[in-house]
């Protein structure tokens, strides 16, 4: 079974997807982490810079994502892990503002989206998965069994973004966080290739007034309801 969770930046989809996968005993697949890992490797292995990341070479992407070199794994104990040439990439290295920005830039490249979409489908072939992203249900897994789209107001997402950045040592005012969220929304919704949209058949959930447990409970209820309808 494939369950997708799409949504805009700071909607909480990553945390929700990870917890839902835990409760269901499913494999968690975080597409954002794959984009961050590729951005990290382009910089560290291929010497890409802010400028050259605007024009990524297909052969570099193919080389870095070669299954002989690159792998993604997940289990409830160790969570998600990424390995390159047998060495684990420290997840904290992928959580920096620089890598987050780089990953956002990579998401506008068709070559990158195609390669990572293919990789996600290969990973999902062997598991029951909960996949989160910005085009998981609309493009990568358009035939997913159950699709969710979670969102929240800009103000609430800016507050969450501000808290997340503070946890990483980056101090932003609320107004700065609002600007960052709105800028990211514009980029995600306005990109020519695979823009952020509500996937067909997706169940929309506004998380503005809900805590994490309430959101996950709502998703579980919807999944059970879908099962009853198709039983």
- Mean of the pLDDT values across residues 8-17? 93
DSSP 91-146: GGGGSSHHHHHHHHHHTT-HHHHHHHHHHHHHHHTTS-EEEEESSIIIIITTT-SE
pLDDT at residue 231 greater than cutoff 80: no
Q: Tell me: the pLDDT tens digits for 74-100?
A: 988 888 999 999 999 999 999 888 998
Query: Which of 87, 91, 94 minimizes the C-alpha distance to 36?
Result: 94
pLDDT at 168: 80
Query: Which of 70, 132, 134, 140 minimizes the C-alpha distance to 108?
Result: 134
Q: Please give the domain boundaries of the chain with CATH numbers for all domains.
A: 1-26+129-221 (3.40.50.300), 30-127 (3.40.50.300)
pLDDT at residue 167 greater than cutoff 90: no
Q: What percentage of the chain reaches a pLDDT higher than 90? A: 83
This prediction's pTM: 0.92
Q: What is the DSSP letter of 203?
A: E
pLDDT at 201: 95
> What does pLDDT average to over the chain?
93
């Amino acid at each position: 079974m494939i369950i997708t969770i799409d949504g805009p930046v700071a909607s909480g989809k990553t945390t929700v997807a990870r917890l839902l996968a835990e409760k269901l005993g499913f494999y968690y697949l975080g597409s954002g982490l794959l984009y961050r890992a590729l951005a990290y490797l382009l910089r560290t292995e291929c010497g890409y810079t802010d400028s050259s990341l605007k024009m990524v070479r297909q052969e570099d992407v193919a080389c870095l994502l070669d299954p002989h070199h690159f792998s993604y794994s997940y289990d409830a104990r160790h969570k998600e892990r990424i390995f390159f040439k047998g060495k684990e990439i420290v997840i904290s290295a992928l959580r920096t503002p620089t890598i987050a920005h780089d990953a956002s830039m990579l998401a506008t490249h068709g070559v990158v989206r195609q390669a990572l979409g293919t990789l996600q489908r290969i990973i999902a072939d062997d598991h029951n998965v909960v996949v989160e992203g910005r085009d998981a249900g609309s493009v990568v897994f358009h035939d997913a069994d159950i699709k969710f789209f979670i969102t929240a107001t800009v103000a609430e997402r800016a507050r969450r973004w501000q808290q997340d950045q503070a946890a990483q040592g980056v101090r932003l005012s609320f107004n700065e966080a609002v600007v960052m969220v709105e800028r990211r929304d514009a980029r995600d919704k306005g990109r020519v290739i695979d823009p952020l949209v509500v996937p067909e058949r997706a169940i929309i959930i506004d998380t503005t007034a809900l805590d994490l447990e309430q959101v996950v409970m709502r998703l579980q209820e919807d999944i059970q309801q879908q099962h009853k309808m198709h039983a």
